[in-house]
Every structure is written in structure tokens, then in C-alpha cells.
């Protein structure tokens, strides 16, 4: 399989998407590719990048370039993190295991999802010493939440990423039309079916009564009652940095500071939750201004190409999360596909940096951009 992809020289994002579509079961591909509602937010995320244009400078020495960044005292060679994407087993049989190995090979931090196909411990084993963070869906059962966090800390995860925009599941018309839910099929059960707190809630084991176990999983996966004050519960469970994913409003950014959070991720869940929502890029600058450099600001939702990375950093991001590009690579060719997709993005980002007249990620400033419309 790797040879046939190499011959095809898949470079463009759209080509990775088409290769993933060719290889995946149709409903599974639609689940990954689609957005909520009429997909207005999904489209807006990409369109927002088109409104910003890079204005390059010339006669600069760009012979040596540095894409590296530092987070929580650790240096990384590129400004990318792999976004948390759940249920990766629907894209490829090895799912998160293959992604973790690719992330290790490319030295790109991997954020593991709560609803992963494989357990966080299995994923950690494949990650080796590569940086990994754990994305937390705060369970309706808070003992499960605490258990997940403790397990992540014990398995060597270096931060907890709390997703805020899933009080309930978004209105995903395509999935509803097909009657498709990988969570209900057990594709996101890896962490739950290996968790002592969750298992203690079952009257029968998941092996003896899979239907009941999955029903309980779906019942507890989201917590719609959360408030800012509840973050103190999480702080009591761990000394790891806590990062809030889903910040789009500057006032929420200020509250993140007030409540002692260690970082924020500007994200609208890749357009998969609230349709008609502001594009993540359109929210980035205001959020970054509210944070004022006090804690890291990461960006997620819409990164497809190298210029997108440069634009997001110019608007205030310290790093970006890559989502659909790598999951399409996974679907197309497992670990090798993820590595190729990341290599393409790295090469494109490096070229964009140099052709903008810059030699380091740290040199990127707002003034390299001009708003077009």
C-alpha cells in the first residue's frame, strides 16, 4: 500500500481527502468529513483564511530556518500538534496506535481523545517518549472523569485538554440521515471499557452485555451542567497543566486566566458542533489579545496548508492543531499516511516562512498580513 501511495505522490489536501474516501466505509468517511447542520461553520473555517493575505518582504537571509516552538519547558521542532480525534478505528484498523507511532516518528505532540478506539495506556505505549496530552470529555459521572485524569497522569501524558463545546452532541445531519454513530457501535470505548470507575457501574461486563455497556457509555460521556467553578474539581485531581479547548469569546479567555488555567485552544470543533458559529480564525486575534501572552494560545479548526499555519501564528497563536489532514492520511495509509501528511505540511510551512521573508516562527508578526475583504 505504501508503494502505491508513493507512486501517486499525494501532496494536496484534497487528494488525501479523496484517497481516504476511496478507502473508508462511506458512512465512516462522512462522519469524519462532515460538519454540523448545513455546514456553514465548516466552510467558514476555511474561508476565514482566504480573507488574510501574506505580504512578503525580500532581500532577507532565509538560508537557515527554525520552525521550533517551546511549550511548558519542552522544545518541539515544528509548531504542530495532532488534534484530538476520537474513534480513529473507523479510519484505519490500527487507529490511534498508528497515529501515535507517526507522531513519535515526526516528533509532533499527539493529543489523545477520551473517545479513542484504543485505551490511553495502549496509545502511550506506542508513543514512547514523544510528548502526549490527554483530551478530556468531562463525564456526567465525575468519578469517571477523575479516573481518566489519574490514568493519563500515570501513563505519562503531560497535560489535560478539556473540551468545552460538547455539552451535548451537535446536530450532524449527515450522520443522522445515515443513522450512523461510531460511539454507539463501540468505536470510542477504548478508555471506558478499560476504566475501573466506568466498569464498576455495569451490572454485567461489556463482554457479556455489550449493548448495556455501550448504552451506559453514551449516557455518561458528556456533562451539560459544567460551570467555571467546577474547574476547581479538576485542579484537585492533577498537577498537570490544564488547557481549555473551545474558547471563542475574549471574555471566556479572561475567565480562563481568572480561574488559573494553563492554556487555551481557540476552536469550534472543526465545524462539527455549532453551525452558524464564528470561524475559529475570526476569534483568534481577540482571544490572544485578552490572554496578553500570560498563557499559551493554540489554534484549531481549518488548518490545511502551510500558509494557514503562518497566518494563525501571525494572528496570535503559539501553535496550531492539525486535524482532518492527518486523519485522511491515516485512512489512506495508516502510520505512513500520517507521516506523509505531516511531512507535506512541514515542507509547505517551511517554504511559506522563507518566502514571506522570515527565518523563524518567532519572527512572525501581525504585520505580515493584510486583510482582504
Tracing cell 492527518 back to the chain, one arrives at 326
Tell me how far apart the alpha carbons of residues 209 and 226 are, in angstroms, rounded to a whole number: 31
Contact at 8 Å (CB) between 301 and 267? yes
User: Measured in Å, how far apart are the chain's first and last C-alpha atoms?
Assistant: 44
- Which residues participate in catalysis according to the annotation? 269
Closest CA to 77 of 105, 110, 102, 106: 106
Contact at 8 Å (CB) between 356 and 313? no
For 126, how many CA atoms within 13 A lie in the half-sphere containing its CB?
19
Contact at 8 Å (CB) between 138 and 245? no
CA angle, residues 293, 294, 296, in degrees to nearest 5: 70
Contact at 8 Å (CB) between 233 and 4? no
Amino acid at each position: 500500500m505504501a508503494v502505491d501511495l508513493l507512486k501517486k505522490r499525494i501532496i494536496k489536501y484534497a487528494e488525501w481527502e479523496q484517497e481516504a474516501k476511496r478507502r473508508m466505509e462511506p458512512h465512516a468517511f462522512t462522519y469524519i468529513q462532515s460538519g454540523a447542520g448545513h455546514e456553514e461553520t465548516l466552510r467558514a473555517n476555511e474561508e476565514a483564511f482566504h480573507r488574510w493575505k501574506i505580504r512578503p518582504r525580500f532581500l532577507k537571509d532565509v538560508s537557515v530556518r527554525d520552525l521550533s516552538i517551546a511549550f511548558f519547558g519542552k522544545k518541539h521542532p515544528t509548531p504542530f500538534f495532532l488534534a484530538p480525534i476520537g474513534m480513529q478505528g473507523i479510519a484505519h484498523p490500527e487507529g490511534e496506535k498508528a497515529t501515535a507511532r507517526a507522531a513519535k516518528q515526526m516528533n509532533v505532540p499527539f493529543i489523545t481523545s477520551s473517545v479513542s478506539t484504543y485505551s490511553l495506556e495502549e496509545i502511550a505505549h506506542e508513543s514512547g517518549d514523544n510528548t502526549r496530552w490527554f483530551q478530556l470529555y468531562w463525564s456526567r459521572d465525575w468519578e469517571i472523569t477523575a479516573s481518566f485524569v489519574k490514568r493519563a497522569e500515570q501513563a505519562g501524558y503531560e497535560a489535560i485538554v478539556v473540551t468545552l463545546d460538547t455539552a451535548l452532541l451537535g446536530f450532524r445531519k449527515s450522520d443522522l440521515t445515515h443513522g450512523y454513530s461510531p460511539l454507539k457501535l463501540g468505536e470510542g470505548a477504548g478508555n471506558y471499557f478499560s476504566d475501573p470507575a466506568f466498569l464498576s457501574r455495569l451490572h454485567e461486563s461489556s463482554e457479556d452485555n455489550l449493548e448495556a455497556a455501550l448504552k451506559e457509555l453514551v449516557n455518561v460521556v458528556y456533562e451539560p451542567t459544567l460551570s467555571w467553578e467546577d474547574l476547581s474539581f479538576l485542579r484537585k485531581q492533577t498537577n498537570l497543566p490544564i488547557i481549555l479547548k473551545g474558547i471563542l469569546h475574549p471574555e471566556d479567555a479572561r475567565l480562563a486566566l481568572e480561574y488559573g488555567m494553563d492554556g487555551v485552544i481557540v476552536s469550534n470543533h472543526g465545524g462539527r458542533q455549532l453551525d452558524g458559529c464564528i470561524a475559529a480564525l475570526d476569534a483568534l486575534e481577540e482571544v490572544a489579545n485578552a490572554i496578553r501572552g500570560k498563557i499559551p494560545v493554540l489554534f484549531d479548526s481549518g488548518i490545511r496548508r502551510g500558509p494557514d499555519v503562518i497566518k494563525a501564528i501571525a494572528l496570535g497563536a503559539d501553535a496550531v492543531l492539525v486535524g482532518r489532514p492527518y486523519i485522511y492520511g491515516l485512512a489512506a495509509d495508516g502510520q505512513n499516511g500520517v507521516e506523509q501528511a505531516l511531512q507535506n505540511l512541514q515542507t509547505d510551512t517551511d517554504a511559506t516562512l522563507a518566502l514571506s521573508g522570515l527565518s523563524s516562527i518567532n519572527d512572525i508578526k501581525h504585520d505580515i498580513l493584510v486583510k482582504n475583504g
